[in-house]
Amino acid sequence: MIRVWKRTTAISYDPSHENEWRAREPVVSLDDKAHALLAYIAKTSAFESNKEPDYGDYRHMGATISAAILQAGLNWETTVQPRIGRLRTQFPEAETTTGFLRVLTQRGHVDVLSWQHDEKPKRILGLTHFLLSEKVETEEDLKNWLLQAGNNHRLLALHGVGEKTVDFLKILVRIPTNAVDRHLNAFLAAAGIDASGYKETHDIIDRAADLGGVDRIVFDFSIWRYMSEKRKVRNKRQNLPCASTPEV
């Protein structure tokens, strides 16, 4: 059963725009595609805007770094989120980047992250060392650092860090944006909107949020949650494992 949330942020949409974008074929401009997305949402009765997502704003750099790296390709609700909660609770001293590195060094990733394999811990360690070299100790430091021109490209040069990881880091420290994953891609496809790749999809979703008067993070989470719950229902009917992962 799809969970329906109470609408907490009304999407401001003028239906007259629907006729405007439908009258122009093909839909090519960013605004056209954003209006098309809002028109689709207006007709999707089960879609609701939500409050702040139930992740991020941790005030704990160990949790923020780990969440950003672990989220790719894994089930968020059953695999990632419990580990992040445990990390915050059992290792409060990892709230700074220096503290997190110390904990990882002294206790090891198997204990700290409840993780047996090496690849993702290596990426976590690499990102931790990099942020330390940039004198990023807190989430406020990270937020300010991410807002500086050129730093996104520097992150992308790190092993295992892609565009979605960078955007997810921004969401975790509450920089308004979206992080494109398969759920957001599928939502645009369902709306009949073509996008040429990550950047265009990202720009369409951000623009639609702005035009609809909704916080970009809330808009991202609303789409992700809607598609995640829809997928769970479909998988349940087909007796398949549920996969509600924000993936790359």
Query: Which DSSP string do the residues of 158-219 spell out, in sequence order?
Result: STT--HHHHHHHHHHTT-S-----HHHHHHHHHTT---SSHHHHHHHHHHHHHHHT--HHHH
pLDDT at position 76 is: 85
User: What is the pLDDT confidence band of residue 77, given thresholds at 50, 70 and 90?
Assistant: confident
Rounded percentage of the chain residues whose pLDDT exceeds 90: 71
pLDDT at position 228 is: 87
Mean pLDDT value of segment 210-221: 96
pLDDT at position 222 is: 95
Which comes out higher in pLDDT, residue 219 or 239?
Answer: 219
Parse the chain into domains and list their residue ranges.
16-52+200-237, 61-172
Q: What is the pLDDT of residues 174-202, one digit of tens each?
A: 999 999 999 999 999 999 999 999 999 99
Mean pLDDT value of segment 107-115: 92
Four-CA torsion 211, 214, 216, 217, nearest 10 degrees? -170
- Architecture of the domain delimited by 61-172: Orthogonal Bundle (1.10)
> What gap in Å lies between CA 123 and CA 142, rounded to an integer?
17
